[in-house]
């Protein structure tokens, strides 16, 4: 457990004045939010940067829409309005029980259950409006081609272009709900292996469901291979091969690429590790 910063506790107390914070602790560092966990009660999410504060109302609307979508698992539901504290925004969301599976654990049936539940959510109306930021900026491929490839070390530029071309050559598929950060600590299971909830929908977007399949490689690629069709598996490997799908989704949802140099600094070690494993 990580001790919470006083500012985080003050914000949580303002949002949830009737809740005791004795057992509260900070979640592991996230890129977009600081999170205070109040076991059995709530999670308080606080934006770190101005862009996160601006996008929080929309992300909370996504949670409201998902909560009414009849999913076979829980999602964090907003317990408070989005509230500003100076230049930060905060919201309390409902607690989701269960624990994440360790890396490499799980089985194909569990992987398939999560993927089927997410991609089966009807994608339209208010949910699509809240999710779809793609019209707000350039296409993801333009971001990669214009902002990322020229910044790669010379030895990776031709290979990066080849991998981008492979991704662009994939046969188009209808958009489905893509979680964008599936696996790891964001999927909670009961002690007897029942899927209880899926957390952190900040990266959710319309897209190819094979992207989520690639993200579920947290459980091992062999489990993914046995959980999905051969076509979906090949698409998942192609998406992942570009820069690692966990990095790629950050460029795919229409949000500004605020730090292309930081993006490159993250993907180059991934490319080097991928080359060593080849």
Task: Kindly tell me the burial class for residue 23, based on how many C-beta atoms sit within 10 Å of its own C-beta (0-12, 13-18, 19 or more).
Answer: exposed
Total domains present in the chain: 2
Contacts of 203 (CB under 8 A, 6+ apart): 179, 180, 181, 249, 250, 253
Question: 121 with 71, same domain?
Answer: no
| 34: in domain | yes
Question: 140 with 229, same domain?
Answer: yes
Question: 273 with 144, same domain?
Answer: yes
pTM of the model: 0.93
94, 125, 145: which is the final residue of a domain?
A: 94
Question: 205 with 121, same domain?
Answer: yes
Distance CA 254, CA 78 (A): 24
With DSSP H G I counted as helix, E B as strand and the rest as coil, what are the percentages for the chain, rounded to 5?
Answer: 50, 15, 35
CATH at residue 85: 3.30.200.20
Angle at 201 between CA 196 and CA 205, to 5 degrees: 125
In the numeric block, the tokens 């350039």 are attached to 138
CATH at residue 223: 3.90.1200.10
Per-residue b or e along 56-76, where b marks 16 or more CB atoms closer than 10 Å to that residue's CB: beebbbbbebbbeeebebbbb
94, 129, 157: which is the final residue of a domain?
A: 94
Distance CA 240, CA 184 (A): 16
DSSP lists the bridge partners of residue 89 as 84
| 194: in domain | yes
Question: 82 with 139, same domain?
Answer: no
What are the tens digits of pLDDT across the range 146-165?
999 999 999 999 999 999 99
| Paired sense of beta strands 42-47 and 33-38, if any | antiparallel
**Which domain, by its residues, includes 225?**
108-277
Question: 55 with 134, same domain?
Answer: no
Mean pLDDT score of the chain: 92
Q: Where are the beta strands (DSSP E) in the chain?
A: 25-26, 33-38, 42-47, 83-85, 88-94, 176-178, 187-189, 195-198, 205-207
Question: 242 with 147, same domain?
Answer: yes
pLDDT per residue, tens digit, the chain (278 aa), is 688 889 999 999 999 999 999 999 998 766 678 999 999 999 999 999 888 898 899 999 999 999 988 888 999 999 999 999 999 999 999 999 999 999 988 899 999 999 999 999 988 888 888 887 776 678 899 999 999 999 999 999 999 999 999 999 999 999 999 999 998 889 999 999 899 999 999 999 999 999 999 999 999 999 999 999 999 999 999 999 999 999 999 888 766 678 899 999 999 999 999 888 86
What are the tens digits of pLDDT across the range 107-135?
999 999 999 999 999 888 888 888 877 76
Question: 57 with 193, same domain?
Answer: no
pLDDT at 78: 97
| 101: in domain | no
| 24: in domain | yes
Question: 116 with 220, same domain?
Answer: yes
| 103: in domain | no
Structure tokens given for 241? 């091969």
| 18: in domain | yes
């Amino acid at each position: 457990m990580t001790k919470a910063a006083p500012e985080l506790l003050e914000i949580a107390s303002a949002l949830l004045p009737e809740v005791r914070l004795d057992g509260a602790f900070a979640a592991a560092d996230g890129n977009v939010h600081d999170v205070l966990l109040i076991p059995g009660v709530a999670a308080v999410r606080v934006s770190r940067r101005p862009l996160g504060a601006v996008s929080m109302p929309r992300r909370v609307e996504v949670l409201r829409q998902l909560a009414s979508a009849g999913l076979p698992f829980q999602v964090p539901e907003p317990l408070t309005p989005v509230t500003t504290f100076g230049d930060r925004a905060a919201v309390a969301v409902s607690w989701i029980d269960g624990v994440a599976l360790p890396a490499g654990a799980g089985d194909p049936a569990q992987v398939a259950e999560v993927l089927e539940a997410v991609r089966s959510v009807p994608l339209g109306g208010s949910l699509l409006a809240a999710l779809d930021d793609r019209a707000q900026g350039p296409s993801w491929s333009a971001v990669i081609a214009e902002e990322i490839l020229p910044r790669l070390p010379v030895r990776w530029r031709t290979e990066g272009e080849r991998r981008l071309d492979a991704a662009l050559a994939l046969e188009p598929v209808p958009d489905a709900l893509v979680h964008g950060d599936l696996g790891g600590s964001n999927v909670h299971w009961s002690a007897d292996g029942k899927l209880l909830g899926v957390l952190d929908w900040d990266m959710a977007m319309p897209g190819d469901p094979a992207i989520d399949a690639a993200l579920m490689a947290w459980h091992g690629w062999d489990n993914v291979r046995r959980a999905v069709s051969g076509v979906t598996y090949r698409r998942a490997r192609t998406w992942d091969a570009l820069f690692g799908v966990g990095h790629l989704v950050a460029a795919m949802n229409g949000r500004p690429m605020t730090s292309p140099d930081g993006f490159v600094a993250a993907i180059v070690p991934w490319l080097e590790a991928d080359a060593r494993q080849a």
